Structure 1
Amino acid sequence: MSDTASPRATRTPTDWSTDLMQRRIRARYRAERRFRMLGLGSILLSTAFLAFLLITMLGNGVRGFTQTEVRLDIDFPRSTLMLDPGALEGPDADAALANAGIDTVVRTAAAERYGALGERRVLSDSAWLKVREAIRANPTIVAGSHTFWLAASDQIDLAAKSDATPDAEATYDKLVAAKAVKTGFNANFLSAADSTDPTAVGIWGAFKGSLLTMLVTLALAFPIGVLAALYLEEYAPRSRWTDLIEVSINNLAAVPSIIFGLLGLAVFLNFMHLPRSAPLVGGITLALMTMPVIVIAGRNAIKSVPPSIRDAALGIGASPVQVVFHHVLPLALPGILTGTIIGMARALGETAPLLMIGMRAFIASPPGGLTDPATVLPVQIFLWSDEVSRGFVEKTSAAIIVLLVFLLAMNGLAIYLRNKFERRW
C-alpha cells in the first residue's frame, strides 16, 4: 500500500478549489451584484424623484416671475377724476389721492377702450394702484392723456401662460390681435408684500421677515451655544449633574419643533406679553430650537482639536483661558460655523413653531423693525398654497424657488467657511 495520500484526501474544508467553496464564492459574488444593483436602483429612484420635484417647481415657479400687462389709455380731462394737481404739493396729498376716485377712472377707461372685454375683468383689481403711484410721481399727467401698462387680471395672466379657461383664452387672443397685451419680468414680485390679488403679491415682506427673524435667532443662539459648548467640554467637572445636562441637550435636539412653538406661545406671548407675530418672538423661539444643535456641533468641533495643541500652549506659559480662546476656539471655529449655519438653515425652513406664535397673519406691508407684525417665507408659502385662486399656484412655486435658493446659499456659505478656515494636522 502506498504511503502517498491522494490529492483529494489532502484537501481541507477551506480549500478554494473544492466544489463547495466555488459554489460559496459564486453565491457571494451574486449577492454582491444584487446589493450593488439595489444601491444603484435606490440612487436612481431618489434622483428621479428629486428631478421630478425640481422640474415641477421650476416649471410652475418660473412663470411666477413673469407678469402680463394690458395697455390702457386714459384721457384725464374727460374722466371723472376728482383731483386738483395743486393738492398733490401739500401735506394732504395722500388724502387727495385717496378721494380722487382713481379706481373708477380706470374701470371706466377699460370699459370704453375694450367694451365687452373690459367687463370681463381684463385688468386686475389692484391695477389702479399703479396709476395712483404714477400721478403721485408726476402730477402733470392729469392735464392730458397718458398711456399705462397695467397688470392684467389673473385669468388673462393664466391665458398668456396657456393655463386658463376657453373664455379667458378667447379674450386674450383678442387683446393680442389689438396689440394691447405684453408679458415681461415681474419686478413687483420681488419688491411687494402679501395681497389678496395674485397679480399683486410679492415675497419681499416675507423675505424681510425671515431676515429679521434669523438675525434674532443668530444673535441669541450662536454666542450662548458656543459658550455652553466650551464650558461643557473644557471646564465642566464630570459629575452626575453634567451628565444630566448633556443628555438633556441631546434630547432637546430631537424634540419636535412644534413643542418649541407651544413653549413660545406660553412663555413669550401669554406670560411675557411680547408682541404677537413679531420677528423678535419668532427669533427667540427658533433660537431655543437651534441652540442644542449648535452646542452639539460646537462640542464635536472642540473635541476634534488635538490635545497636543493644549499641551503646547500650556507649556509656553499660556493660562487655561488663553488656551481656550487663543488656540482651541479658533481651530474649532470652522466646525462650529458649519454646524451653526446648518442649524440656521433648518430654522429658516420651519413653519410649525411660527404658526403657534401667530406669524401666519396677513401682512400687507414689509415689517419696519423687530417688533412689527411680520411673516416668514415658509409660512407665506403655506398661506398661498391654501388660496382658492389658481393665480396663487405659480406664486407659491416661485416663492419655493426663492426659499431653496436662500437655503442653498446658506449651505454654500457653510462649505466655504469650512474650507477657508479648516486646519489639517
Structure 2
Amino acid sequence: MTELAAMTPVPTAPKRIPTDWKSDLMQRRIRKRYASERRFRFIGLAAVSLSVAFLAFLLITMIGNGARGFTQTDIRLPVNFAQTSLMLDPTALTGPNAEAALAAANIQGATEEAAVAAFGPDGADYISDGAWLSVRAAIRKDPAILGKTVDIAVPASTHIDIAAKNGADPEIRAAYQKLEATGRLSTGFNLNFLTGSNSNDPTLVGIWGAFKGSLLTMIVTLLLAFPIGVLAALYLEEYAPRNRWTDLIEVSINNLAAVPSIIFGLLGLAVFLNVMHLPRSAALVGGLTLALMTMPVIVIAGRNAIKSVPPSIRDAALGIGASPVQVVFHHVLPLALPGILTGTIIGMARALGETAPLLMIGMRAFIPAPPAGITDPATVLPVQIYLWADEVSRGFVEKTSAAIIVLLVFLLSMNGLAIYLRNKFEQRW
C-alpha cells in the first residue's frame, strides 16, 4: 500500500503560461503599461501646448506692438510762406544752385513759426523734429507754393503719435484733444519706415538701410560659405585618406560648429580689420566673419548628406564607365543636394540672427544712408533692433517690434526659397 501511494503522482497546481492575458498578474501589467503610455502622451501634449502658447504669445505681442510701427500720425500744418522768415526766392530753385539755395534757407525755423502760429506757443512741440524735411520736400516738388499759404502734411511728434495710436496719454491729453478738435490729425501707413534709414528721431527712422545691409551681408556669406563648405565636405567624404590628420580635421570642424559666435567676431576683428585692413563696418567684413561661422555647419550637414547616398549609386555609375569625378558631380552631389541645402538653411538662419560677431567688427555705427555696395559702411537688422531697443524715447518701442516683424519675414522668405530649391532638386530612389 505504501509502495502504491508512492507511485501515485501527486497533483500539482497548473503552471501559468506567460501569454495568459486573462491572469490577474498580466492584467495588472497591461493596466500599468497603458497608464504609463497615457502619462507619456499627456506630458508630450502638454509640452507641445506650452511651446505653442509661448510662440503665440511672442507673435501676438510682436504683431500687436509692431503693427503700430508701420503707421505714422501726420499733422496738416498750414504754412504761410509770405509771413515766415524763410526768405527764399522762387527763382533760385530753378537754376543749377537750387539745392544750395534750399540748404541755406531757414526751412526749420519757418516750419516752427508756422506751428506756433497755427497751434499756439506750444505748437513747435506738436510736430516732429524732422517736420521741416517734409516742408523742404514740398518746396522742392513745387516752388510755386512760395508766397502762398498751403497745408503740408508733416509728421507729428512722438508723444502726439503715441497718443493718437494708443488713446490720449494723460500727460498730453489737453494737447492731443486740442489737435484732434482741429481735424488736422491723420494716421496712415508709414512708407518712410520701409524706405528710410536710421535716425535719432523715431518718427523718421526707416528699416531699408539695415535691411539692405543684411541682404548684402547674407549674399557675401552665402557666396563664400556654400561652395567652400560643399567642396570641403566632398573632399573629406570621397577623397581624403583615413589617417590621424583627417581625424583631427573632422574633430576640429565639429568643435568649430559649437564655438560661441563672439569668438568668430574676435577672429574677424583680428584678421580682416587689423591684419588685412578691410573697411570697418562693411558688409564685406560682416559676410566674411559670418561665413567662418556658417561653414562648419554646412560641412557637417554636407558630409551627412553625401554619406546617406547609397553605395549602389556609385557602383552603378562606375559600372557603366563613369570616372570617379563624374560619379561625384553627376550622381552623388545631385542626390545629396537636398540635405546640403537643409544644412545651408540652418547655417544661414543662424547667421541672419547674429549680433555679437557683427558688433565686434564695428557694424553698430550710426548709418544715415543705405549702403551702395559691400564695402560701404552698413548695419544689419539684428544690430539695428538692438540699438533701437536701447533708445530712451518711447517711440522706438513700436519701431523695434516692427523691425522684428521685418526680420522674421526676411528669415521666412529666405528659408522658403531654400526649401523650394531643396524640393526642386530632391530625387527619390
TM-score tier by shorter-chain length is over 0.9
Cα deviation for residue 4 of structure 1 reads 8.8
CA distance in 2, matches of 1:35, 1:283: 45
| Per-residue Cα deviation, 1:153-189 (whole angstroms, up to 9, x for no partner) | 0000000112663132332222222111000000000
Deviates more, 1:351-360 or 1:34-43: 34-43
Q: Would you say 1:144 and 2:164 are equivalent positions?
A: no
| Mapped partners of 2:369, 2:53: distance in 1 | 39
Partner of 1:11: 16
User: How much identity, in percent, do the aligned residues show?
Assistant: 74
* Residue of structure 2 equivalent to 1:293: 297
Shift of 1:5: 4.8
For structure 1, which segment, 320-329 or 146-155, has the greater mean C-alpha deviation from structure 2 after superposition?
A: 320-329
3-state SS of paired residue (1:182): strand
The one-letter code matched in structure 1 to 2:78 is: D
1:52 pairs with one of 57, 60, 74: 57
Match of 1:355 among 337, 356, 359: 359
- Provide the residue aligned with 2:350 in structure 1: 346
Which residue does the alignment assign to 1:207? Answer: 211
Aligned-partner Cα distance in 1 for 2:184–2:10: 105
Match of 1:329, SS state, is helix
Q: CA deviation at 1:144?
A: 2.0
1:227 aligns with 2:231: yes
| Residue from 184, 189, 207 that aligns with 2:188 | 184
Partners of 2:39 and 2:61 lie apart in 1 by 32
Tell me the alpha carbon deviations over residues 197-237 of structure 1, each in whole angstroms, 9 at most, x when there is no partner. 00000100000000111111111111111111111111111
Partner of 1:414: 418
**C-alpha deviations, 1:317-351, integer Å up to 9, x for none?**
22111111122222222222222122111100000
Do the aligned partners of 1:82 and 1:99 also contact (CA within 8 Å) in 2?
Answer: no
Matches within 5 A, 1:246-261: 246-261=250-265
- CA–CA distance in 1 between the matches of 2:83 and 2:287? 54
CA distance in 2, matches of 1:269, 1:136: 42
Aligned match for 1:218, one of 219, 222, 235: 222
Aligned to 2:83: 78
Q: Is the aligned partner of 1:284 residue 2:288? A: yes
State the AA in 2 paired with 1:46.
S
Q: What's the secondary structure of 2:75's corresponding residue?
A: strand
Please list the CA deviations of residues 228-285 of structure 1 after superposition, one character each: whole Å capped at 9, or x if unmatched.
1111111111111111111111111111101100101111111221111110110000
| Matched-pair contact (CA < 8 Å) for 1:209–1:366 | yes
Aligned amino acid, residue 200 of structure 1 = L
- Residue aligning to 1:380: 384
Partner amino acid for 2:115?
Answer: A
Mean Cα deviation higher: 396-405 or 10-19: 10-19
- Unaligned segments of structure 2, at least 5 residues: none
Deviations 1:344-370 (A, max 9, x none): 111000001001111111111111111
RMSD: 1.7
2: distance between equivalents of 1:4 and 1:52? 74
Q: 2:70 is aligned with what amino acid?
A: F
1:31 matched residue in structure 2: 36
Q: Is the 8 A contact 2:138 2:152 kept in 1?
A: no
Q: How many residues get paired?
A: 423
Alpha-carbon distance in structure 1 between the residues aligned to 2:239 and 2:11: 72
Check conservation: 2:168, 2:176, Cα contact below 8 A: no
Corresponding position of 1:153: 157
Q: Check 1:164–1:257 CA distance in 2 against 1; reply closer, same or farther (3 A cut).
A: farther
Letter in 2 for 1:72: L
CA spacing shift, 1:164–1:295, aligned 2, 3 Å: farther
DSSP-derived class of the 2:72 partner: strand
The equivalent residue for 1:399 is: 403
Whether contact under 8 Å (1:342, 1:414) holds in the other structure is no
TM-score (norm 1): 0.95
- 1:257-276 alignment, distance < 5 Å: 257-276=261-280
TM (normalized to structure 2)?
0.95
Against the structure 1 CA distance between its residues 11 and 334, is the aligned structure 2 distance closer, same or farther, given a 3 Å change threshold? closer
Max radius of gyration: which structure? 2
Q: Distance in 2 between matches of 1:163 and 1:54?
A: 23
Q: What is residue 72 of structure 2 aligned with on the other side?
A: 67
Q: CA contact under 8 A between 1:122 and 1:156: conserved in structure 2?
A: yes
Q: Distance in 2 between matches of 1:395 and 1:111?
A: 28
Per-residue CA distance 1:79-133 (angstroms, 9 max, x = gap): 21122223223343222112100000000000001114514x1100001111112
Question: Is 2:42 the partner of 1:40?
Answer: no
- Secondary structure (helix, strand or coil) at the match of 1:161 reads helix
How far does residue 12 in structure 1 lie from its aligned partner after superposition?
4.4
Residue 132 of structure 1 is matched in structure 2 by 136
Alpha-carbon shift at residue 23 of structure 1 (Å): 2.1
Q: Which amino acid aligns with 2:26?
A: M
Tell me, yes or no, if the aligned pair for 1:229 and 1:295 is still in contact at 8 Å: yes
Q: Name whichever of 99-108 and 27-36 sits farther off.
A: 27-36
Residue 65 of structure 1 contacts residue 185 of structure 1 at CA under 8 Å; is this kept in 2? yes
| More deviation, 397-406/410-419 | 410-419
SS at match of 2:154: strand
Shift in alpha-carbon separation, 1:163–1:240, aligned structure 2, 3 A: farther
Partner Cα distance (2:417, 2:24) in 1: 58
> 3-state DSSP class of the match of 2:268?
helix
Counterpart Cα distance in 2 of 1:176 and 1:391: 20
Is the counterpart of residue 112 in structure 1 residue 117 in structure 2?
yes
Residue of structure 1 equivalent to 2:104:
99
